[in-house]
Amino acid sequence: MTKPATRIQKKNRTAILAAALEVFSQFGFRGATLDQIADAAGLSKPNLLYYFPSKEEIHQQLLTSLLSAWLDPLRKMDDAGDPIEEILGYAKRKLDLSRDYPRESRLFANEVLQGVPHLGDTMPALKTLVDEKAKVINGWAKAGKIVAIDPHHLMFLIWAQTQHYADFDAQVRAVLGRDDPFPEAFAFMEHMLRRTLAP
């Protein structure tokens, strides 16, 4: 599938991917149907399959095209910055993603929950990035800027805590009542991380 030539093709492909994100993130890969996606994109089902060869291909393109943006907050964590503020900034950017892009979060959550059946071969690259940042955190700890701490589990903590608000939104809302949890969530996370990390 090469680059779309015309403006309308580009628009349709974009609409399909947006619709697919909506449907896949809510129902998972198997739970989603092409009828739902075509409907949400404002196209007929055969027309949808004119732009993408298969359901699998739409899903794969979604995942791979979003993955890079999803890892950006971690890439931006800067070796040269203030350690506590860098980690806090990373956590905040991650929580912003949960607030602003909950469907993307749930798309990845579905994928990981089922054992990364479509993203298995990108896991080594994730490990490479995480290991690299783990070294940065270990350096900060050795310099006495933060407490000595397992950097991988710190990463899991930040992932778990931030993504929880997007992925398990239904439960969060049910427990809190109707509220937008994000302002308090950030204050809470800042308290937790500052205390956890203080040297």
Site string for its own copies, 23-52 (x = CB under 8 A): ---xxxxxx---------------------
Residue 2 site contact among DNA, its own copies, none (CB < 5 to 8 Å, cut-off depends on kind): none
Give the C-alpha separation, 120 to 53, whole Å: 22
Cβ–Cβ under 8 Å, residues 194 and 84:
yes
Which residue, 50 or 156, is less far from DNA as judged by CB? 50
Binding of residue 9 to DNA (CB under 7 A) = yes
Residue 173 CB, shortest distance to DNA, in Å, is 27
Share in percent of the chain as helix, strand, coil (round to 5): 80, 0, 20
Record the tokens describing residue 132, joined without a space. 């690299």
- What residue type is 56 in one-letter code? E
How many degrees, rounded to 5, is the angle at CA 108 between CA 162 and CA 96? 30
**Is residue 8 involved in binding DNA (CB under 7 A)?**
yes
Are 73 and 94 in contact by the 8 Å Cβ rule? The answer is yes
| Cα–Cα nearest to 199, from 146, 121, 133 | 146
By CB under 7 A, name the one of 16, 19, 20, 32 that touches DNA: 32
Encoded amino acid at 68, one letter: S
User: Tokens 């503020």 appear where?
Assistant: 85
Does 55 contact DNA by CB under 7 A?
Answer: yes
Q: Of 6 and 68, which has the nearer Cβ to DNA?
A: 6
Verify binding: residue 50, DNA, rule CB under 7 A.
Answer: yes
| Listed ranges 32-40, 85-93, 132-140, 165-173: which one lies at the site for DNA (CB under 7 A) | 32-40
Distance CA 148, CA 141 (A): 5
Residues that bind its own copies in the complex, under the rule CB under 8 A: 26-31, 106, 109-110, 112-116, 123-124, 126-127, 130, 147, 149-150, 152-157, 159-161, 163-165, 167-172, 174-177, 181, 184-185, 187-188, 191-192, 195-196, 198
